[in-house]
A and B are shown apart, each in its own frame.
Chain A
Amino acid sequence: MKNPEIFWSGIILSSLLCITTSFAQNAQTLSDAEVASVAVVANQIDIAYAEIAKEKSKDAEILKFAETMINDHNAVIKQASDLVKKLGVTPKDNDVSKKLLSDADATKKTLRSKSGSEFNKAYIDNEVAYHKAVIEAVEGLLIPEAENAELKALLQNVVPALKTHLAHAEMVQKSLK
């Protein structure tokens, strides 16, 4: 593979989209415990990316964006944890959450291998791609799969924040060029 950077960012986006479509097509079902797990994992992954950014970047816009990602995704995880506790559900690993985690490991490795402006670009490009993919997964998979009305409502509530993060990431992306 000549260009691992392009390879990975392409793979990450397409694998999440593939998961979304293949689940929809095969009419496989996720239990609410599995939906909750995917939701929590997806938020944890973006926090992990932001923590790498805080370690590696000196760019004020990147650092502010990363701080917002940590705060917001933690807030979503707290809401989700409070809800599953209330519902008596234990988040359960599944193919989707496992795939998300293994993709994220590869991305984290790529990010850690870069520094300076090359890192900033890789980080924000990944944030744009990742938020697009997560919005797609939440709207196309998690919301339709969620049975419990409160879980569905929570997921619906998260979408505007994800879309705002995407717009914010795209703005930072533009300012870096």
Chain B
Amino acid sequence: MRVLIYVSLLAAIAMGCGGSQNDPAATSSDNVQNVPQRHVVEISEMKFVPDVLNVNKGDTIVWINKDMVDHDVTEEATHSWTSSKIPAGGSWEMIATKSEAYFCSLHVVMKGKIVVDGNEVAMSDELPSVTQCGAP
């Protein structure tokens, strides 16, 4: 029960305004709950599995290519970042900072989504959500 309270407290802090590293709660006895997690997305049978991944800001996402062909992971809206080619059997990882849609630029019909802290991907005509947090 105690753990649950800490977790929801941390989640609330993270959603309100980032920077959990200096949170007093992070130094509590339950600080193991604050350790960024690793999430795996398998690229298998020409699909990102799972195609929608819910994470917390700062978590690491690892894409593992289990297919026999190369793939990549590329931010969809403006191609602001890309893994470049992930060879068959290879993997690539990044730290989640915000909700984004991505695709494979080699097989443009392959699509996936990262949802950070429960925020659905911002539409282009909405205000960017970073403004309220002022993260560097």
Contacts and interface: CB of A to CB of B under 8 A. Distances in A.
A72 B87 CA distance: 11
Contacts of A72: 69-70
Contacts of B47: 160
A160 B68 contact: no
Contacts of A164: 46, 107, 109-110
Interface in A151-177: 157, 160-161, 163-165, 167-168, 171
B109 to A, nearest CB: 4
A161 B109 contact: no
Interface residues of B, number: 14
A75 B70 contact: yes
Contact of A76 (B46, B68, B70): B68
Contacts of B69: 71-72, 75-76, 161
Interface residues of A, number: 16
A160 B45 contact: yes
Contacts of B68: 75-76, 79, 157, 161
B46 to A, nearest CB: 4
Nearest to A79: B68
Interface in B24-82: 45-47, 67-70
B88 interface: yes
Given A71-B106, A161-B67, A164-B109, 16 more contacts: A68-B107, A72-B69, A72-B70, A75-B88, A79-B68, A160-B46, A160-B47, A161-B69, A164-B46, A164-B107, A164-B110, A165-B107, A168-B107, A168-B108, A171-B108, A171-B109
Interface of B: 45-47, 67-70, 88, 105-110
24 contacts: A68-B106, A68-B107, A72-B69, A72-B70, A75-B68, A75-B69, A75-B88, A76-B69, A79-B68, A157-B45, A157-B68, A160-B45, A160-B46, A160-B47, A161-B46, A161-B67, A161-B68, A163-B46, A164-B107, A164-B109, A164-B110, A165-B107, A167-B109, A171-B108
